[in-house]
Amino acid sequence: MMKLGSSSWLLVLSFLDIVHAAGNEEDVLVETAGITTGDTVERVAYQCTFRNLWTEARQPVNFPSELGRWAGPILWTHTLQFQPWVHSRGVTRGVEKLAEDGFTDVLVQEMMQQGAQVKDYQEYEQAQFFVSQTNFVHIPPIEADFTYPYLSMMAGMQPSPDWYTGFYSYWLIDEYSRTWYDHIKIQVKPWDAGTDAGQTYTALESDLDPPLNAERFIPRNAPPGGELLDPTGETVPNVGELECFLVVGEQDLILPDCDWFANPCCNETDTVSCGATLPNGAPPQISPEYAQVLDGGTTVDDSLTTAQKLSRLEEIAGEMRQLADEVDALVQGLREDDGEGTTGSSITRRRGRSMTKIFEVGKWTCMFR
């Protein structure tokens, strides 16, 4: 699925590191080295998928179930001379607008004005997504090169006073082997832009003048009402995850509508034993946090293999289908008792790969994914 130039020979190194990115205090779960910086290539780009980890099960206090959404996400590659936000410094107007209002236009204008300091930017084509409707979105490939080897990401948390998530100035080149990473996975925390005094998701606008510095939320500075904290109230969980693969040459990866990086078999009939691997030939690894999201909030044992986790998710889906069939039968029986037959049934269902079911029984509305 990748196309290499005629003079493009790859040196592939097989190692996996679990490290902590001290620069912007985010969790880097995967860094796998790919082509060397000395190789001649037509183009270096990264195909990325952003996953939501912000859920009611993980951060239950006043969670905005129906309104919760991510604005963006937006990525950009750049030099160190362009950093619209860093820890303990004031943010730019573009960061403020994305964090407060959910729009990327001013941030994009700032990138355009920087000229030689920004190589490329890409954002989710539909500008935002509701966390109740999907767990992930694909972002168009973003280009990098030796002059612009740093990657940053931002997504506005909506609704919120001025909260967002992301990371800044991640170096895409391994400093020891001088190779481009061919696979990275980074989990991100919620941040406070410091431009609004609100302390709840739906607080009224209350601009700070002068504004404060940007801060990553930790238990000490988390909202006093408990928003953003985990069920124990002791930690601030990660709220997002970005996974990217290196693309060399002009042909980009063509991703299906499903979360292909989490499960390369997701668009196959047999999603458990099809045997497909990731673009770099490695097996997929679902993070424990994302497995928890997929499992509806139930903690997943991290000792399970990826295949076991996927098998468990298939079992859960089967149980949901069985439950839906039982509810179908129950509703049909009630209608027959009332003499209604099946006319005007309020049950609608969409079976298949998405495994999404929505149906109504009396005053209950149920959605299974």
Report pLDDT digits (tens) over 78-97: 999 999 999 999 999 999 99
Q: Identify any residues that bridge with 170 across adjacent strands, giving them in sequence order.
A: 151
Q: Under 8 Å CB-to-CB from 276, ≥6 apart: which residues?
A: 264, 265, 268
- Locate 31 and state its tokens: 């860094």
Instruction: Please report, in angstroms and rounded to a whole number, the separation of the first and last CA atoms in the chain.
Output: 29
pLDDT for 134 = 94
What pTM was computed for the model?
0.73
Bridge partner residues of 185 (DSSP): 30, 243
The reported pLDDT for the residue numbered 33 is 61
In this prediction, what percent of the chain has a pLDDT beyond 70?
72
Distance separating alpha carbons of residues 228 and 189, to the nearest angstrom: 10
User: Of 180, 209, 287, nearest to 243 (Cα)?
Assistant: 287
Q: What is the pLDDT of residue 270?
A: 73
Q: Which pLDDT score is estimated for 364?
A: 36
Superfamily of domain 19-282: F-spondin domain (2.60.40.2130)
**Given CA atoms 329, 331, 336, 342 in this order, what sign does their dihedral have?**
negative
Question: Which parts of the chain register pLDDT below 50?
Answer: 1-23, 298-304, 340-369
**Where does the chain hold its CATH 2.60.40.2130 domain(s)?**
19-282
- Distance, CA of 142 to CA of 303 (rounded, Å): 34
